[in-house]
């Protein structure tokens, strides 16, 4: 039996499948909040109040970025799930690779926007002058890793569209642990400051992307990702 057949939400005990699907999604949201929380705790305790203010002042902008791509990923997820449910393999494959292609395009746009326009955006948001330099550093590095944020949400959306919410949770747990360890290493031991906290987050998100992509590249299902079919 293929992975798609095992996870198909339209067959079997629907109530049980919905509950089993929802629990990992809920837990995943909790772990996703760990990224900024861990950054704030470590930065605040090691670097002090001003550095913490620099990180927290970027919160609205970071959540805006995440929210936008969560919306896009959810839309893609709905389309892909419909085709999987209809057992239309051709349209499923097309929807998957279209979503991946668009995600790659937007990740480039967001990376460039964050690197070059971080000072302007943060000033528009009313970021105080005393925390602005640190906030700019954090945003530039964080947005520089937009690929991880964007593609993780795309890949997870594809998996969830197939009815698989467990593996995304595993990947989030793994990346959260990596984030915690790297935060301590970069900030406490290497003294990299705010830049270290941002870099730890970016690397940990790339870990989750790598895990999700590995599964999608090797899974026996119509939603398998084929790098040769990505349209750039």
Q: What is the pLDDT of residues 40-74, one digit of tens each?
A: 788 888 889 888 888 888 888 888 877 887 788 88
How many structural domains is the chain composed of? Answer: 1
In a domain, 137, yes or no: yes
Q: Is the pLDDT of residue 138 over 80?
A: yes
The residue with tokens 């959306």 is: 157
Strand segments, DSSP code E, in 77-174 are none
Domain membership of residue 113 as a residue range: 37-229
The structure tokens listed for 196 are 């270290």
CB atoms inside a 10 Å sphere around CB 176: 22
Instruction: Supply the pTM of this predicted model.
Output: 0.86
In a domain, 141, yes or no: yes
Number of helices (H), then strands (E), belonging to the chain: the values are 9, 0
Average pLDDT over residues 88-103: 94
- b vs e for 95-121, b when ≥16 Cβ sit within 10 Å of the residue's Cβ? bbbbbbeebbebbeebbeebeeebeeb
pLDDT band at 1 (very low <50, low <70, confident <90, very high): very low
In a domain, 72, yes or no: yes
In a domain, 44, yes or no: yes
């Amino acid at each position: 039996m293929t992975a798609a057949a095992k996870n198909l939400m339209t067959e079997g005990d629907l109530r049980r499948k919905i509950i089993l699907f929802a629990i990992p999604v809920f837990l995943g949201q909790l772990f996703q909040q760990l990224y900024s929380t861990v950054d704030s705790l470590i930065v605040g305790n090691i670097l002090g109040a001003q550095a913490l203010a620099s990180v927290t002042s970027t919160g609205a902008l970071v959540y805006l970025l995440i929210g936008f791509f969560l919306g896009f990923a959810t839309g893609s997820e709905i389309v892909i799930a419909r085709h999987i449910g209809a057992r239309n393999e051709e349209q499923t494959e097309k929807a998957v690779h279209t979503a991946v292609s668009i995600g790659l395009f937007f990740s480039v746009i967001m990376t460039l926007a964050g690197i070059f326009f971080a000072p302007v955006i943060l000033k528009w948001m009313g970021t105080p002058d005393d925390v602005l330099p640190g906030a700019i550093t954090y945003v530039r590095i964080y947005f520089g890793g937009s690929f991880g944020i964007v593609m993780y949400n795309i890949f997870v959306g594809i998996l969830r569209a197939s009815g698989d919410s467990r593996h995304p949770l595993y990947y989030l747990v793994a990346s959260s642990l990596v984030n915690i360890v790297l935060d301590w290493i970069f900030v406490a031991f290497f003294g990299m400051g705010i830049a270290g906290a941002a870099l730890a987050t970016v690397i940990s998100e790339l870990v989750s992307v790598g895990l999700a992509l590995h599964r999608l590249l090797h899974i026996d299902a119509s939603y398998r990702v084929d790098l040769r079919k990505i349209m750039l």
